Structure 1
């Protein structure tokens, strides 16, 4: 069974000074970490990479060194699950529609995106759309969140919701 932590919109150090402990504990058990953009600093990448292989894309507020390192779209296969990652920013349409449209010509099972900070998990046309929300900037959401994907003979995807640490 592979454990994959999914996150987006960390916005460090603008929205938070550090990643929350609940997220870091999940990273300790992760085989892979996926980040859907708006890191804001490469320090987040280096911190996550200390736990597990970290793959991601750049978001709309990321500096050039993040855009240059990660690009705006990725497709990877983990066992039999084909995963597309994008941030979801742009003009026209909704964030979900832009994320799905980024992979129109690709045969993916799962599209991971961010940008809105709104946790989403739904299926459209046989593709699961997943926004993990944000572990550091919940905006108008009730709780902070990130995602967990477990891949074995089948795959299971869920949000991990939590309150701000004291």
Structure 2
């Protein structure tokens, strides 16, 4: 059986209808920070359960309920979430983490290092620097993690 994870970041207060459509049917959503407003999380929770962390622009009072990092176990896999990958202070491989989710750069990226998948879904909010508007999904199967970046523009 496949467990589908939706990964979104850097919404900056904008949840595009295209993002909601792409996330429809996922089993869980991870938000990698720079949420922008609490309404974003409320809307995402209408789609699936949400794990979210705050990013550097999430400074208003509502954001205090979100941690800077999260460690979550889903479908037998372990995910570590932080906003800026440069702030990573743990060794994911040593801790048995399967995937590190980050945001901040607005640049979508998939990379595997020491058996750990590093995924930045890019920005699903306002377009910045002519970068694409993106989010990611990850299918968790008995064979492993199958990530995909989706261009919403």
> Would the TM-score normalized by the shorter structure come out above 0.5?
yes
Task: List runs of 5+ in structure 1 lacking aligned partners.
Answer: 13-17, 89-95
Query: What is the correspondence of 1:37-116 to structure 2 with a 5 Å cutoff?
Result: 37-88=33-84, 96-99=85-88, 101-104=89-92, 106-116=95-105
Task: List runs of 5+ in structure 2 lacking aligned partners.
Answer: none
Query: What is the correspondence of 1:154-165 to structure 2 with a 5 Å cutoff?
Result: 154=143, 155-163=145-153
In structure 2, the partner of 1:93 is none
**1:11 pairs with 2:7:** no
- 1:132-156, CA deviations, whole angstroms, 9 ceiling, x for partnerless residues? 0011233224421000011121321
Q: C-alpha separation between the residues in 2 aligned to 1:131 and 1:141?
A: 17
Provide runs of 4+ in structure 1 moved above 6 Å. Answer: none
Q: C-alpha separation between the residues in 1 aligned to 2:148 and 2:101?
A: 12
Q: CA 1:8–1:103 in structure 2 vs 1: closer, same or farther (change >3 Å)?
A: farther
Equivalenced residue count is 150
Q: CA 1:107–1:138 in structure 2 vs 1: closer, same or farther (change >3 Å)?
A: farther
In structure 2, the partner of 1:29 is 25
Query: What is the correspondence of 1:133-148 to structure 2 with a 5 Å cutoff?
Result: 133-148=122-137
In structure 1, the partner of 2:139 is 150
Q: What's the TM-score once normalised by structure 1's chain length?
A: 0.82
